[in-house]
Structure 1
Amino acid sequence: MPQLNPSPWLKFFTYVWIAFLTLIPTKVLNFFESNKPTNTSGTRKGQRWSWPW
């Protein structure tokens, strides 16, 4: 049963997972911007909602 012999695919499997765990998350996280806080000091826009109950 050749699929039980780990020598051909074990090295490739470890290299691929090292790439997944180190290179790919850093590249993906560069696309996302963190939520930057906005300056909320100032006047309110709009009117308050009067609750009917």
Structure 2
Amino acid sequence: MPQLNPYPWFMIMISSWLIFLLIMQPKFSSTYLPNPPSNKVKPVKKFTPWLWPWT
């Protein structure tokens, strides 16, 4: 059964991971974020209690 021979498939897998880790990953991680995170504090909303008409 030739599919049980790991030699060609193992080398393809290792080479594809090396390509991804060494070449593609830095390109993906250096992309520009269109909405950078900000340090703004969101205002706290004050909620008023609901007044039930039958109480």
Q: Which residue of 2 aligns with 1:35?
A: 36
Indicate whether 1:25 and 2:25 are aligned. yes
TM-score, with structure 1 as normaliser: 0.52
Q: Which residue of 1 aligns with 2:8?
A: 8
TM-score, with structure 2 as normaliser: 0.51
Q: Distance in 1 between matches of 2:20 and 2:32?
A: 18
**Structure 1 runs (4+) greater than 2 angstroms displaced:** 32-38, 49-53
How many residues align? The count is 45
Structure 2: 5+ residue stretches without partners:
50-55
Q: Please state how far the C-alpha of 1:7 moved relative to its aligned partner.
A: 1.9
Give the root-mean-square deviation of aligned CA atoms.
Answer: 2.9
Structure 1: 5+ residue stretches without partners:
41-48
Return the index of the structure with the highest Cα Rg. Answer: 2
The share of aligned pairs that are identical, in percent, is: 27
